[in-house]
Amino acid sequence: MFKKADIFLAILLLTLGFGLLALLQGFSVPGNSVAVTVDGELQGIYDLSDNRVVQIESANGHNTMEIRDGQVSMTEADCPNGDCMEFGSIRHTNQVIVCLPNKVVLTIRGSDELDSISY
């Protein structure tokens, strides 16, 4: 069923996929804050140590983000499929939650020192 080129491509993809995954895991540490951007514009940065609920208004709709015990999750969205709520909770640097229809992005950030390494 398989040919040589299949195997070669599969090994290439597996190496790339798992390699990058390992690299991301390696740089991943618990973050300090969450950055909220709407349509590419930074709306605000919130400290992860403060439990709070943040309402995010965008041109296309409305989202609700919750910070609890150092973790961030999207708890409400008025988009049709609600994909962003399925991301679960994020807490490590560079992890993201995206709401595509509303163009809302939540990104976990580390301290400045860590930022300079991971960006």
Partner 1 sequence: MTMNDIQDKHTSVSDKIPAAAILASLALIFSYVEFLFPLSLGIPGIKPGLANIVVVVALYKLGVRTALMVNVTRILLAAALFGSVFSGLYSLTGGLVSFAVMAALRKTNLFSTAGVSMAGGVFHNLAQLTVAALIIESAQILYYFPLLLLAGMAAGLINGVLATWILRALRNID
| Residues in contact with partner 1 by the rule CB under 8 A | 1-6, 9-10, 13-14, 16-21, 24, 37, 39-40, 80-81, 83-84, 86-88, 94-96, 98, 100-101, 103-105, 107
Query: Shortest gap between Cβ of 35 and partner 1 (angstroms)?
Result: 9
**By three-state DSSP, how is residue 110 classified?**
coil
Instruction: Work out how close the CB of 112 gets to partner 1 at its nearest, in angstroms, rounded to a whole number.
Output: 18
Burial of 2 per CB tally in 10 Å (0-12, 13-18, 19+): exposed
From the CB of 23, what's the least distance to partner 1, in Å? 8
**Shortest distance (Å) from residue 80 CB to partner 1:** 6
Is the Cβ of residue 67 or residue 105 nearer to partner 1 in the bound state? 105
Whichever of 1 and 113 has its CB closer to partner 1, that residue is 1
Distance, CA of 45 to CA of 34 (rounded, Å): 6
7 or 51, CB closer to partner 1? Answer: 7
Stretch (H or E) spanning 6: helix 4-27
Strand order of the β-sheet with 71-77 is: 52-57, 62-68, 71-77
Pairing assessment for the beta strands 62-68 and 52-57 based on DSSP bridges: antiparallel
Q: What does the DSSP 8-state code read for residue 42? A: E
Which CB atom, from 55 or from 80, has the smaller least distance to partner 1? Answer: 80
